[in-house]
Amino acid sequence: MKKSNVIRSAVSAHTKRFGVAPTSTAWAPGRIEVLGNHTDYNEGTVFSAAIDLGHCFCLSPSDTPGIRLLAVDVNKVASFEVKDISKVPGYNWANYVKGSFYFIQERIGKAIDGLDCTFFGSIPMGAGLSSSAALEIAASYAVLHHLDVDLDRKDIAVLARRAEHEFAGTNCGLLDQFSSIFGREHGLIHSDFRTLDVTSVGLPADISFLVVNPHVKHSLSESPYNERRERCEQAAEQLAALLPHPVNALRDVSPEEFKQLREQIDPAAAKRAAHIIGEINRVERGVEYLKQWNIEGFGSLLYASHQSSIEHFENSCAELDIVVEAARHAGAPGARLSGGGFGGSAIVLVYDENADDISAGIMDYCRAKGLNPDILTVTPSSGAAII
């Protein structure tokens, strides 16, 4: 569904349910992680892109205390107050909004109360395109606009991440929120999660991405995501004891140093660290490839990234492996899982002129393996905004 149709549907549903048109409406896109898997919480670098799928969030003031939140797709309304950190029982989707409101309220010292809210989106749930972050950011933008409060965009991302941590139980980094906020039309976002610097890197005009969803539903809060993060922290701590320079995160360990020392640390931690250290190196090599507009070289890094997810981080699955192999078989320059893994979607780098043929080739290959995936073509898009 096009962005304009999503916004129109959300506004219409809000007006019908609450009897008044929304006074504040925001849009926030989902994202694809292009390269740099699980590097954000290791203070590394990541390539990502906001996409032309996202969430619309509407609100209007109400005389009734508390918050009422309509989820259009399931036609249910959750009610809650923002005064405490307790979760909304029975409505997990509402906790992304309550958490965002709670930490904004805490930050600005102004009560968030008496609001009717509505959200609707075009991001397939469980597809690894960060529907949760898009909802958090859209809700944050809408309520800040309503309150006439201006926060730095990086601060908004940090508050939304806290909502993810404390209300959804996923100990994620800032990648998803940064991607939703800092998206660039026809470009990639290069984020440094040590300095929090964000820069844009252009793509050739004839490049797009296929998002291939083999329907492996996933939830990071219920997956081994948190265990992987703990292993990364363990590896950094053990490597710090062996190296002559400070190691605050795996970002501080070079591939050469890791190769020399990996046998001296816990084997399970070393296995996870191999993926992270390799990914950070691949992102920086990717910067150089894109400066030269070397799409074939850049695509090869995507394939290498996915192989590392299989061998080292073990956050892929059989269905995603089939999709990536199908992309290679169809002649795509690059492909890999996107996002946290353990399900979700794969992304495929394509030239526009070949996109239809590659999409058909992927579908044929997958069907021969017993899969019937959905394939979307997405283009890098601009970030969150007030409508």
**What is the C-alpha separation between 69 and 79, in angstroms, rounded?**
6
Closest residue by Cα to residue 50 from 164, 212, 168, 211:
211
pLDDT of residue 254: 98
Give me the CATH code for the 3-202 domain, please.
3.30.230.10
pLDDT of residue 340: 80
So which residues are the catalytic ones?
Answer: 176
pLDDT tens-digit map of 349-359: 999 999 999 99
Burial (CB count within 10 angstroms: exposed 0-12, middle 13-18, buried 19+), residue 287? middle
What's the predicted TM-score (pTM) here?
0.86
Pinpoint the residues of the chain covered by CATH 3.30.230.10: 3-202
Q: Which pLDDT score is estimated for 221?
A: 46
Three-state SS string over the chain comes to CCHHHHHHHHHHHHHHHHCCCCCEEEEEEEEEEEECCCCHHHCCEEEEEEEEEEEEEEEEECCCCCEEEEECCCCEEEEECCCCCCCCCCCHHHHHHHHHHHHHHHHHCCCCCCEEEEEEECCCCCCCCCHHHHHHHHHHHHHHHHHCCCCCHHHHHHHHHHHHHHHHCCCCCCHHHHHHHHCCCCEEEEEECCCCEEEEEECCCCEEEEEEEEEECCCHHHCCHHHHHHHHHHHHHHHHCCCCCCCCCHHHCCHHHHHHHHHHCCHHHHHHHHHHHHHHHHHHHHHHHHHCCCHHHHHHHHHHHHHHHHHHHCCCCHHHHHHHHHHHHHCCCEEEEECCCCCEEEEEEEEHHHHHHHHHHHHHHHHHCCCCCEEEEECCCCCCEEC
Low-confidence ranges of the chain (pLDDT < 50): 219-221
Separation CA 253–CA 241 (nearest Å): 12
| Range(s) within the chain of domains with CATH label 3.30.70.890 | 207-378
CATH number listed for the domain at residues 207-378: 3.30.70.890
Chain centre distance of CA 178: 9
